Amino acid sequence: MRDALAEAAWKALDKLQIELPSWGFANTGTRFGKFIQPGAATNIAEKFSDAAQVQAFTGTCPTLALHVQWDLPRGLKDVGEVEKLSKQHGIRAGSINPNIFQNQEYKYGSLGNPDPAIRRMAIDHILDCVAIADALKSRDVSPWFADGSNYPGTQNIRRRIGFFEEGLKEIHDALRPGQRLLVEYKPFEPAFYHTDIADWGMAYLLAKQSGPQALVLVDTGHHYQAQNIEQIVAWLLHHDMIGGFHFNDRRYADDDLTLGSIDPYQVFRIFHEIRMCEWENGVTADIAYMVDQSHNLKGKVEAMIQTVLTAQELYARAALVDHGRLAMLQQECALVDAEETLRGAFWEDVRPIVKQWRIAKGLPGDPMKAFRESGYAERIAGERREKNLGATASYA
Ligand code: RM4
Ligand code: MN
Ligand code: MN
């Protein structure tokens, strides 16, 4: 029995890959100010270097998500530089994230802006991102729209839906074969009255009408407190409409805390829905697992390693659920036994199994300890200190 469990967990770990966000290595903060860390990455080369550390110690993160304005400020012209860094560090470029929220022009929206010239500017930027993704052989173009309004009556909500439909359709039709457009939603912030793509239903409808290469992206922090996220995931799985995740945790709103730091059971339940669906269908769901976190206070590389280890532990636990038995118990409405079958897997301590898996793969059994002993954190703090102390208020 123990061996069977370990085998299921190993197979799951072999499959799990997690994409890191380039912006997770840079200085971040809150709307009240930014906290500077001496070792934070100050440019794209340093972001690649930091991501390569996470990959070296965990073996699970071969790709780095890029945010175009922060990482490729010259757009397509910066592709060569990214390719060079990618080769040098053995990390592939991951999803390409347009930035349609930072420029002054986007004060009243991007794709939803009542001004056609600004809508054009936003669409053109995303079309550039499609070209960048193509040049870098990245599959996913992953926009998040900050669009919305702050006061009732100030914008025409339905008209803006039409603008989004139009814009997303044009973008979808420019996708190259195999590329995907991942539509992310978020209930509020920066807009505090209405957000144009506020929930999974809106994202689903917009993705659906754009075309078959558009799917929904679930950022775990982008939900109201009481929402049942795994149920949303189940619906999207049922309709083949889930393209990816942005993993993080939160206690209040979009806090961008470390995955599983507040509610590890929720992450487990999400993984369980996916794995149960895979078991029923006999195919692996094509989902991009990505991290979207902002560690204002923790050491960036350390926090990212902690995230990956947490994801592995929770994913391995979800792999321990006995799906055949659970399906039978559900059919019989044997409630307590069904619940305990799920909960039992969650309470298994998989850390020894994950450790053995790492050692078998030639990775350090304790990646955090190995990273700390490597001296990398001290080295970058020394090398980057001066640049960071002079840093200004941008993520790049
Ligand atoms: C947003 C959203 C996006 C991310 C930005 C930085 O809240 O989660 O995915 O690109 O933050
Ligand atoms: Mn996100
Ligand atoms: Mn967010």
pLDDT tens-digit map of 90-127: 999 999 999 999 999 999 999 999 999 999 999 999 99
Using the atom order of ligand 1, give the atom closest to the CA of residue 221.
Answer: 8
Q: Which ligand is nearest to the CA of 395?
A: 1
Other C-beta atoms lying within 10 Å of the C-beta of residue 11: 12
Q: Indicate the pLDDT class of residue 391, thresholds 50, 70 and 90.
A: confident
Distance CA 39, CA 383 (A): 8
Q: Which two tokens stand for residue 382?
A: 């020394």
The residue whose CB lies within 8 Å of the most ligand 1 atoms, and thus the one to mutate among 147, 246, 292, 394, is 292
pLDDT of residue 3: 84
Residues enclosing ligand 1, CB less than 6 A? 23, 97, 144, 184, 186, 219, 246, 254, 292
Tell me the average pLDDT across 43-53.
Answer: 98
Instruction: Decide if pLDDT at 282 tops 90.
Output: yes
Q: Nearest-CA neighbor of 310 among 234, 371, 259, 377?
A: 259
Centre of ligand 2 to C-alpha 293, Å, is 8
pLDDT of residue 159: 98
Q: Measuring CA to CA, how many Å separate 210 from each of 109, 165, 170, 342?
A: 19, 7, 8, 37
Instruction: Decide if pLDDT at 312 tops 60.
Output: yes
Residue-averaged pLDDT of the chain: 96
Give percent of the chain above pLDDT 90.
Answer: 95
The number of C-alpha atoms within 13 Å of 216 and in the hemisphere containing its C-beta is: 29
Centre of ligand 1 to C-alpha 68, Å, is 13
The residue whose CB lies within 8 Å of the most ligand 1 atoms, and thus the one to mutate among 95, 141, 144, is 144
pLDDT of residue 335: 98
CA torsion through residues 63, 67, 68, 70, sign = negative
pLDDT of residue 390: 80
Tell me the average pLDDT across 69-86.
Answer: 98
Other C-beta atoms lying within 10 Å of the C-beta of residue 319: 24
pLDDT of residue 392: 61
Residue 348, C-beta contacts closer than 8 angstroms, at least 6 positions apart? 5, 317, 320
Distance CA 64, CA 22 (A): 6
Q: Indicate the pLDDT class of residue 250, thresholds 50, 70 and 90.
A: very high
Tell me the average pLDDT across 145-161.
Answer: 98
Instruction: Decide if pLDDT at 350 tops 90.
Output: yes
The pTM assigned to this predicted structure is: 0.97
**Residue with the nearest Cα to atom 9 of ligand 1?**
144
Q: Nearest-CA neighbor of 298 among 259, 263, 266, 247?
A: 259
Identify whether the C-beta of residue 13 lies closer than 8 Å to the C-beta of residue 312.
Answer: yes
Q: Indicate the pLDDT class of residue 394, thresholds 50, 70 and 90.
A: low
Residue 155, C-beta contacts closer than 8 angstroms, at least 6 positions apart? 108, 109, 112, 114, 148, 149, 194
pLDDT of residue 191: 97
Q: Which ligand is nearest to the CA of 246?
A: 2
Supply angle C-alpha 285, 287, 293, rounded to 5: 145
Tell me the average pLDDT across 273-289.
Answer: 98
Distance CA 363, CA 55 (A): 10
Any alpha helices (H) in the chain, and if so which ranges? Answer: 2-15, 44-58, 68-71, 79-89, 116-136, 157-173, 200-210, 229-238, 264-281, 300-318, 323-331, 335-347, 351-360, 367-374, 376-389
The residue whose CB lies within 8 Å of the most ligand 1 atoms, and thus the one to mutate among 70, 219, 259, is 219
pLDDT of residue 4: 82
Other C-beta atoms lying within 10 Å of the C-beta of residue 254: 18
**Residue with the nearest Cα to atom 10 of ligand 1?**
144
Centre of ligand 3 to C-alpha 278, Å, is 27
End-to-end CA distance of the chain: give it in Å, rounded: 50
The residue whose CB lies within 8 Å of the most ligand 1 atoms, and thus the one to mutate among 64, 110, 145, 184, is 184
Q: Which ligand is nearest to the CA of 23?
A: 1
Q: Indicate the pLDDT class of residue 393, thresholds 50, 70 and 90.
A: low
Burial class of residue 214, CB neighbours in 10 A (0-12, 13-18, 19+): buried
Tell me the average pLDDT across 349-376.
Answer: 97
Centre of ligand 3 to C-alpha 325, Å, is 37
Distance CA 209, CA 227 (A): 25
Centre of ligand 2 to C-alpha 277, Å, is 24
Distance CA 146, CA 189 (A): 7
Instruction: Decide if pLDDT at 1 tops 80.
Output: no
Instruction: Decide if pLDDT at 2 tops 80.
Output: no
What is the tens place of the pLDDT at every residue in 170-199?
999 999 999 999 999 999 999 999 999 999
**Residue with the nearest Cα to atom 1 of ligand 1?**
144
